[in-house]
Amino acid sequence: MEKKGASIKKLGNAARKSIEEFLMREIYLELRVKVVENWRKDKNALKNFGYTN
């Protein structure tokens, strides 16, 4: 498991590069993350995140 937001940082960098290529200019991309405790065990949370059985 990656620590200190490494996965989010990778995702943000990839997204920013893709958007910059599409727009043909540099952009500033800000990501915000909301942490929901025990979301993996909460069926409603999983459904809201797009996971289904």
- Write the pLDDT tens digit of every residue in 4-50: 789 889 999 999 999 999 999 999 999 988 888 888 888 888 888 88
Extract the tokens encoding 23. 């727009």
Looking at per-residue pLDDT, the higher value among 52 and 7 belongs to 7
SS (HEC) of the chain: CCCCCHHHHHHHHHHHHHHHHHHCCCCCCCCCCCCCCCHHHCHHHHHHCCCCC
